[in-house]
């Protein structure tokens, strides 16, 4: 059956199409409520907000493609935010604050990678432990209070400023990271290994691939991107605060899965993840604009995810 | 066959397709009480699908089944069990984390106050194990802690505990030791005397000659013939199975050239009681077979040479230089140049959902990757060349590997390693489950590779392949080479004799083995 | 019955968790300024019992090789429900109790239905239903508040004769009345079978769907019991995403420390209880050793990491590198 489809039709991923369909449906639905939902200003604003989630989801997607998961994202984001603002305070100045935040995220990611690739601990539990450690380190540093450090002007500019025809800088960052991710996944041997490991780590290993190095690199990337998201979030709100990464874990996973990436690894396109991120962001925004209370938003949010997955995310029954 | 008595089980007109492949076409089978019915056929002849349908694992596309004259439809394995059919699978159906007793009464455990009665369950297990001739197994041991041969005995006990009317054995003796096989045969004869209908699937002709009352032969999913055991010669049966004389399928051996240059030397290789003191020299241009019963260390030897096993002692020499192989990555490096065609195509050989192109180029990616970036033009060219060379039948290189037939999948795996330009190829039963036509192509290909200077180490469970294709055959028994056969020595009789280690001084073992032949 | 080596092999994880819990608790008590009094024990038990129950709830899906990320939210939802329903006359209180328990079963069953019949992955399913349950909790209790029948609350969180903490008795009752019968039931064993190898379970004719449905439903029930206990301890309901999230994640940690394999098929909810008490006692240990409170998350995290990293020792025994992939 699959073999008989023309090459173009095979590339056409129903999940990605469905996700984009849902985005359009959401916008139309929103425009019934208020015209402003279709205005470029509103859309750009949404894409700016989506960029933060987009960075996190990019790293998460690579890890999920491997058949793993990174639950350390919340506090790695927070660590990225706190360490970049701290670096600014220590006088490393405008330039070094951002790379320092990213580097801290990458360091946590690296430890995740060591645990998963070399110690072979299930990623679900090892990254959970790293999340706790990251939290512990941040609480230790701040004494559990909101740190007094402030984001640098440059961080603020990247997170909230606009340049180039009024396109938000954060969106430009996401575009750059996204383009790099697409290139990495489709054109490099690293990308091939990611998909290969996600489909069958055994076959990848027996093909002579360095599976451990790929895992290590993927987790490091995921950590670095979470750290970067933290830096931008700190820039966005001008400072870092406790647990600021918590609201990003579940939406990141949901965005990746809604975009058609198999939660067990091996299959998924970056375009799908983009669709998932935009979809989640729009959904959250429309629900809040419609002044639906938080409780209703959560319920609708959950129902929409389940409904969409029932529509196209079902797995085959074993044995039949 | 005694047709006066109505059969206990009858299936007619059964067909089943998997994607584009017809696994069964108008299949039929009749089983009678108190008789053992052997089902014969090559790998891929449809035997496994047949019994999966009989035991409710797979639903047929068409056809009817009846038990005792009443129509039967099995939607799940539980339905078949209820109807009195128990199956002993080749792929084990045991639950590794559960105890032996749990496994034996997994569906219908004895209950007290609605809960599982562990004491009674243990007694049932003890009885079933005794009936299967395996009282040495402790009912409270966990299955995953037991060796493969013991698990197979549990599988038999589990089937017996269900008190079946029809018992199906699918290659149930392949993992067993000679002593266990003798035990199982005694048990089966007793069950036949008790009035059970038994369906027995095996590749081993002598087993069938010893046990069966009736035989049915399948080929390419079709019923070829049913006859009473002992009415046809072995040669005639084999011809029914393969549909022609089998001698012609192998390419001629190349006349032996002057002293072969040794590419791979193995000295005193041992590993964890599974490999003992292996010595071997593999020369350029030769195909060396690995023989012996399944599970005598052949798989482990190939893995050891591919850098997968930890704690291998002895030396491996490549071009006369001692070499340490720490991983498949080091084994495939340009200096060493080893490739492994693994045992299980679907999990070890391919990333099934990925495209033919991605699969093909994956092992050789280094050859057209610069600074980590894949040169897709070069990749496409090389992949296209390979597909042409091996005549892989795929609509285009973008289709997922699982859309290909088994034979083409195996070609894909070989092609993926050829792209890496290997000098030494290790092949682990590469023709298993492949149709005769593709097999022949693979034989040609292997001989062609040898002629071009590659060295092949080739494990096969099919003696005909070892006889027809190999220049030398090393027969393994219990992790050792018992004999290395050459030239005219490579025949079925000496292969079997060395496989069963009949020349061994170990009296008891030889005696047990002799029972079988 | 005399315990055999097979008994020890089967319950190794639980036994190790028990010993660890005892050692940790002993260190805690020995260094406690007051020592082991009924009051100290009751406080410790009340703190531990909540996570213990949530961890038990997590164990059931994990045994089937699944996961329940909504378990903390069911816990929070039950807490909010209980703070509204478990009040008034004895009859009303009893009706409220039953209603909360049924709500928990319903939540779990809904997870199970979506996973079994919708054929969705447990992780993502429960992630989404978790949001739904949290939303429901929030609509019930936009701000913390409510009440609970104080007589019942005090009876279940106070002390029994001989200074035994009542909450400990609750846990024991849950084990005896729910876990042990489940463990010995056909569907309970089927859950282990599914987690051990779904293919082999299918081939053996194990009722896979019913086993999963029951596992998730009972998981909901246990989370609801935990929610009730939370209400009895705090006398109020609070729809806190932080509490739900923390309990979900800690429950996974407790399950692992308790010796249950995240790949399914082996382990025990009893082990998870000990795992939960180990986690809780770590926090208390820091207190008795006079560590500043902000050291606590770090030490807890490091110990959790160290505990799960012990699993890496199996690599040293491994002779075939392919085993790491199985």
Nearest to B61 by CA among A265, A117, A320: A320
Cβ proximity of B298 and B462 under 8 Å: no
Residue ranges in chain B whose pLDDT is less than 70: 1-4, 19-21, 42-44, 90-91, 174-175, 177-178, 203-205, 242-249, 255-259, 433, 435-436, 502-517
Answer positive or negative: Cα dihedral of B466, B477, B171, B299.
Answer: negative
Nearest CA in chain B to A207: B363
SS3 of residue B284 by DSSP: coil
A6-10, A232-236, B335-339, C209-213 — which is least confidently predicted? A6-10
Nearest CA in chain C to A144: C294
- Residue C181, chain B, CB below 8 Å: the answer is yes
Neighbours of B13 (CB within 10 A): 13
Alpha carbons A227 and A84: distance in angstroms, whole number: 9
Nearest CA in chain A to B375: A187
pLDDT averaged over every residue in chain C: 88
Region of C239 please: left (phi>0), alpha (psi -120 to 50) or beta. Answer: beta
Residue A181 has pLDDT above 90, yes or no: yes
Cβ proximity of A273 and A256 under 8 Å: yes
SS3 of residue B21 by DSSP: strand
The whole-angstrom distance between residue C222's C-alpha and the CA centroid of its chain comes to: 8
The answer for residues whose C-beta is within 8 angstroms of residue B227's C-beta and 6 or more apart is B214, B215
pLDDT averaged over every residue in chain A: 87
Cβ contact (<8 Å) for C305 and A143? no
Q: What are the pLDDT digits (tens) for A97-150? A: 889 999 999 999 999 999 999 999 889 889 988 998 999 999 888 877 777 777
Cβ contact (<8 Å) for B395 and A4? yes
Cβ proximity of B424 and B392 under 8 Å: no
pLDDT at residue C202, rounded to an integer: 86
- Cross-chain CB nearest to C319 (options B76, B103, B272): B272
- Cross-chain CB nearest to B353 (options A204, A206, A266): A266
The pLDDT of A4-29, averaged and rounded, is: 73
Residue A314 has pLDDT above 60, yes or no: no
What percentage of chain A has pLDDT greater than the value 70? 93
Nearest CA in chain B to C319: B310
What percentage of chain B has pLDDT greater than the value 70? 90
What percentage of chain C has pLDDT greater than the value 90? 48
Dihedrals phi, psi of A168, to nearest 5 degrees: -60, 140
Beta bridge partners of B71: B66
Residues in chain A: 320
Alpha carbons B325 and B315: distance in angstroms, whole number: 10
State the pLDDT confidence band at C137, using cuts at 50, 70 and 90. Answer: very high
Taking the CA of residue A257 and the nearest CA in chain B, the distance in Å comes to 18
Q: Are strands B197-201 and B36-41 parallel, antiparallel or unpaired?
A: parallel
A181-185, A218-222, C119-123 — which is least confidently predicted? C119-123
Give the DSSP H or E segment for B199: strand B197-201
Q: C-alpha angle B385/B388/B391, rounded to 5°?
A: 145
How many alpha carbons fall within 13 Å on the CB side of residue C60? 30
* ipTM of the shown complex: 0.85
pLDDT at residue A320, rounded to an integer: 30
A219-223, B242-246, B301-305, C184-188 — which is least confidently predicted? B242-246
Dihedrals phi, psi of C89, to nearest 5 degrees: -65, 160
Q: What are the pLDDT digits (tens) for B159-206? A: 888 889 999 988 777 667 667 788 888 888 988 998 899 999 876 667
DSSP for residue A188: B
- Cross-chain CB nearest to C205 (options B76, B96, B327): B76
The answer for residues whose C-beta is within 8 angstroms of residue A132's C-beta and 6 or more apart is A75, C297, C300, C301, C304, C305
Cβ contact (<8 Å) for C312 and A120? yes
Cβ proximity of B75 and B56 under 8 Å: yes
The pLDDT of A60-83, averaged and rounded, is: 94
B contacts of A315 (beta carbons < 8 Å): none
Alpha carbons B356 and B388: distance in angstroms, whole number: 13
Kindly state the tokens that stand for C262.
């995240």
Dihedrals phi, psi of C278, to nearest 5 degrees: -60, -50
Dihedrals phi, psi of B374, to nearest 5 degrees: -80, 130
Alpha carbons C97 and C75: distance in angstroms, whole number: 14
Q: Which stretches does DSSP call E strand in B243-360?
A: 262-271, 275-283, 287-291, 313-318, 321-322, 338-341
Taking the CA of residue A258 and the nearest CA in chain B, the distance in Å comes to 20
Q: What pTM was estimated for this model as a whole? A: 0.84
pLDDT at residue B505, rounded to an integer: 43
Taking the CA of residue A119 and the nearest CA in chain B, the distance in Å comes to 16
A contacts of B306 (beta carbons < 8 Å): 206
Alpha carbons C160 and C166: distance in angstroms, whole number: 6
Alpha carbons A186 and C221: distance in angstroms, whole number: 46
Helices (H) and strands (E) in chain C, counts: 16, 0
Taking the CA of residue B60 and the nearest CA in chain A, the distance in Å comes to 11
- Cross-chain CB nearest to A187 (options B332, B363, B373): B373
Q: Which of B53, B91, B93 to mutate to test the interface with C (most CBs of C within 10 A)?
A: B93
Taking the CA of residue B154 and the nearest CA in chain C, the distance in Å comes to 13
How big is the B-C interface in CB pairs under 8 Å?
A: 94
Residue A315 has pLDDT above 60, yes or no: no
A contacts of C128 (beta carbons < 8 Å): 254, 301-303, 305-306, 309
Q: Are strands A167-168 and B36-41 parallel, antiparallel or unpaired?
A: unpaired
Cβ contact (<8 Å) for B358 and A203? no
The answer for residues whose C-beta is within 8 angstroms of residue A154's C-beta and 6 or more apart is A94, A95, A97, A98, A235
Taking the CA of residue C268 and the nearest CA in chain A, the distance in Å comes to 18
pLDDT at residue B234, rounded to an integer: 74
State the pLDDT confidence band at C282, using cuts at 50, 70 and 90. Answer: confident
pLDDT at residue C214, rounded to an integer: 97
Which residue in the block uniquely carries the two structure tokens 């397709």?
B17
Give the DSSP H or E segment for B206: helix B205-211
Dihedrals phi, psi of B476, to nearest 5 degrees: -105, 145
The answer for residues whose C-beta is within 8 angstroms of residue C203's C-beta and 6 or more apart is A319, B57, B77, B89, B93
Alpha carbons B151 and B171: distance in angstroms, whole number: 14
Which residue in the block uniquely carries the two structure tokens 């987009």?
A54
Alpha carbons B374 and C74: distance in angstroms, whole number: 49
For A124, A127, A219, A301, C147, the CA distances from A130, given in Å and listed in that order, are 10, 5, 12, 28, 38
Give the DSSP H or E segment for B481: strand B480-486
Alpha carbons A275 and A286: distance in angstroms, whole number: 16
Taking the CA of residue C206 and the nearest CA in chain B, the distance in Å comes to 6
Neighbours of B437 (CB within 10 A): 10
The pLDDT of A301-314, averaged and rounded, is: 80
Radius of gyration over alpha carbons of chain A, in Å? 20
Bigger pLDDT: A37 or B137? B137
Cβ proximity of A86 and A281 under 8 Å: no
Cβ proximity of B257 and B61 under 8 Å: no
- Cross-chain CB nearest to C315 (options A71, A120, A131): A120
pLDDT at residue C319, rounded to an integer: 79
- What subunits make at least 3 CB pairs under 8 angstroms with C? A, B
Nearest CA in chain A to B350: A203
Nearest to B425 by CA among B326, B286, B299: B286
Cβ contact (<8 Å) for A1 and B19? yes
Q: Which of A302, A314, A315 to mutate to test the interface with C (most CBs of C within 10 A)?
A: A302
DSSP for residue C205: T
Alpha carbons B359 and B415: distance in angstroms, whole number: 10
B contacts of A190 (beta carbons < 8 Å): 372
The answer for residues whose C-beta is within 8 angstroms of residue C321's C-beta and 6 or more apart is A205, B308, B309, B310, B327
pLDDT at residue B504, rounded to an integer: 44
The answer for residues whose C-beta is within 8 angstroms of residue C275's C-beta and 6 or more apart is C17, C21, C55, C253, C254, C255, C256, C257, C258, C259
């Amino acid at each position: 059956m699959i073999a008989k489809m023309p090459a173009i039709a095979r590339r056409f991923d129903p999940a990605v199409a469905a996700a984009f369909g849902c985005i359009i449906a959401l916008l139309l639905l929103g425009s019934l409520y208020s015209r402003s939902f279709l205005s470029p200003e509103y859309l750009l604003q949404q894409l700016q907000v989506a960029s933060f989630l987009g960075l996190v989801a990019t790293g998460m997607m690579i890890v999920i493609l491997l058949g793993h998961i990174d639950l350390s994202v919340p506090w790695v984001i927070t660590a990225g935010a706190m360490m970049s603002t701290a670096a600014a305070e220590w006088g490393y100045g405008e330039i070094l604050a951002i790379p320092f935040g990213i580097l801290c995220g990458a360091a946590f990611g690296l430890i995740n990678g060591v645990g998963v690739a070399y110690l072979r601990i299930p990623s679900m539990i090892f990254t959970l432990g790293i999340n706790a450690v990251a939290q512990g380190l941040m609480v230790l540093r701040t004494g559990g209070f909101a740190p007094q450090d402030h984001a640098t002007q440059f961080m603020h500019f990247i997170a909230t400023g606009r340049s180039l025809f009024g396109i938000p800088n954060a969106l430009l960052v996401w575009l750059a990271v996204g383009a790099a991710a697409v290139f990495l996944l489709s054109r490099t041997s690293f990308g091939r290994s990611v998909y290969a490991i996600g489909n069958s780590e055994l076959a990848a290993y027996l093909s002579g691939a360095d599976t451990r190095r790929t895992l290590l690199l993927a987790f490091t990337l995921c950590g670095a991107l979470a750290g970067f998201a933290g830096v931008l979030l700190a820039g966005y709100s001008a400072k870092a605060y406790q647990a600021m990464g918590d609201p990003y874990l579940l939406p990141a996973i949901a965005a990746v899965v809604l975009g058609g990436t198999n939660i067990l690894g091996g299959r998924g396109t970056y375009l799908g993840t983009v669709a998932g991120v935009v979809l989640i962001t729009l959904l959250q925004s429309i629900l809040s604009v419609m002044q639906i209370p938080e409780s209703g938003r959560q319920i609708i949010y959950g129902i929409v995810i389940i409904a969409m997955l029932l529509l196209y995310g079902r797995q085959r029954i074993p044995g039949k | 066959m005694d047709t006066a008595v109505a059969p206990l089980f009858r299936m007619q007109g059964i067909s089943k397709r998997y994607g584009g492949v017809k696994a069964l076409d108008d299949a039929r089978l009749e089983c009678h009480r108190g008789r053992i019915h052997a089902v014969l056929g090559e790998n891929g002849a449809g035997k496994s699908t047949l019994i999966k349908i009989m035991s409710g694992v797979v639903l047929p596309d068409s056809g009817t089944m009846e038990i005792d004259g009443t129509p039967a439809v099995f939607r799940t394995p539980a339905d078949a069990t209820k109807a009195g059919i128990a199956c002993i699978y080749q792929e084990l159906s045991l639950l590794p984390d559960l105890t032996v007793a749990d496994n034996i009464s997994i569906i219908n455990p004895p209950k007290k106050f609605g809960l599982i009665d562990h004491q009674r369950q243990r007694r049932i297990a003890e009885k079933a194990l005794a009936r299967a001739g395996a009282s040495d197994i402790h009912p409270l041991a966990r299955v995953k802690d037991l060796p493969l041969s013991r698990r197979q005995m549990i599988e038999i006990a589990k089937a017996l505990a269900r008190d079946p009317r029809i018992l199906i054995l699918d290659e149930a003796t392949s993992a067993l030791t000679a002593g266990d096989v003798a035990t199982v045969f005694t048990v089966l004869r007793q069950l036949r005397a008790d009035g059970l209908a038994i369906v027995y699937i095996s590749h081993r002709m002598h087993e069938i000659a010893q046990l069966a009352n009736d035989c049915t032969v399948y080929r390419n999913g079709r019923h070829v013939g049913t006859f009473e055991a002992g009415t046809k010669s072995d040669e005639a049966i084999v011809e029914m199975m393969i549909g022609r004389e089998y001698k012609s399928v192998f390419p001629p051996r190349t006349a032996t050239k002057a002293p072969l240059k040794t590419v791979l030397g193995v000295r005193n290789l041992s590993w964890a009681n599974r490999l003992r003191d292996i010595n071997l020299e593999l020369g350029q241009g030769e195909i060396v077979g690995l023989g012996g019963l399944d599970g005598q260390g052949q798989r482990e030897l190939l893995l050891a040479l591919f850098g997968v096993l930890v704690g291998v002692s002895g030396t491996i020499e490549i071009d006369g230089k001692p070499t340490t192989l720490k991983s498949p990555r080091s084994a495939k490096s340009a200096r060493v140049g080893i490739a492994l065609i693994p045992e299980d195509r679907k999990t070890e050989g391919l990333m099934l959902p990925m495209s033919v192109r991605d699969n093909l180029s994956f092992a050789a990616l280094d050859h057209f990757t610069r600074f980590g970036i894949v040169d897709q033009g070069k990749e496409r060219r090389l992949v296209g060349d390979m597909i042409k060379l091996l005549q892989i039948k795929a609509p285009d290189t973008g289709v997922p590997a699982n859309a290909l037939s088994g034979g083409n999948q195996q070609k894909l795996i070989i092609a993926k390693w050829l792209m890496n330009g290997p000098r030494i190829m290790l092949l682990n039963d590469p023709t298993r489950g492949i149709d005769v036509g593709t097999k022949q192509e693979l034989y040609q290909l292997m001989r062609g590779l040898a002629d071009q200077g590659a060295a092949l180490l080739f494990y096969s469970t099919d003696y005909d392949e070892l006889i027809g294709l190999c220049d030398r055959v090393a027969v393994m028994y219990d992790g050792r080479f018992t004999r290395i056969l050459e030239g005219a020595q490579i025949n079925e009789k000496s292969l079997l004799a060395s496989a069963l280690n009949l020349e061994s001084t170990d009296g008891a073992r030889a005696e047990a083995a002799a029972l079988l032949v | 019955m005399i315990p055999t080596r097979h008994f020890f092999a089967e319950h190794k994880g639980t036994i190790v968790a028990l010993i660890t819990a005892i050692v940790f608790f002993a260190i805690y008590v020995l260094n406690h300024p007051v020592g082991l009094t009924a009051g100290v024990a009751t406080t410790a038990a009340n703190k531990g019992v909540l996570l213990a129950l949530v961890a038990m709830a997590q164990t059931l899906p994990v045994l089937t090789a699944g996961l329940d990320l909504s378990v903390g939210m069911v816990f929070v939802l039950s807490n909010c429900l209980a703070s509204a329903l478990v009040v008034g006359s004895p009859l009303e209180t009893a009706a409220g109790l039953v209603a909360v328990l049924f709500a928990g079963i319903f939540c779990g069953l809904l997870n199970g239905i979506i996973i079994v019949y919708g054929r969705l992955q447990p992780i993502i399913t429960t992630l989404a239903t978790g949001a739904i349950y949290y939303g429901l909790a929030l609509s019930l209790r936009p701000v913390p508040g409510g009440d609970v029948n104080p007589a019942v609350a005090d009876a279940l969180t106070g002390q029994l004769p001989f200074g035994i903490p009542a909450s400990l008795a609750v846990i024991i009752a849950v084990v005896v009345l729910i876990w042990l019968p489940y463990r010995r039931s056909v569907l309970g064993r089927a859950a282990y079978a599914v987690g051990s190898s779904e293919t082999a379970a299918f081939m053996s004719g194990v009722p896979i769907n019913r086993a999963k449905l029951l596992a998730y439903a009972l998981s909901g029930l246990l989370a609801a019991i935990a929610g009730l206990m939370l209400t009895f301890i705090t006398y109020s309901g609070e729809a806190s995403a932080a509490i739900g999230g923390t309990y979900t994640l800690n429950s996974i940690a407790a399950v692992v420390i308790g010796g249950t394999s995240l790949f399914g098929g082996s382990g025990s909810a009893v082990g998870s209880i000990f795992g939960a008490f180990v986690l809780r006692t770590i926090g208390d240990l820091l207190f008795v050793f006079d560590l500043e409170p902000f050291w606590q998350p770090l030490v807890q995290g490091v110990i959790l990491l160290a505990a799960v990293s012990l699993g890496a020792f199996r690599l040293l025994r491994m002779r075939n590198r392919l085993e790491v992939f199985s």
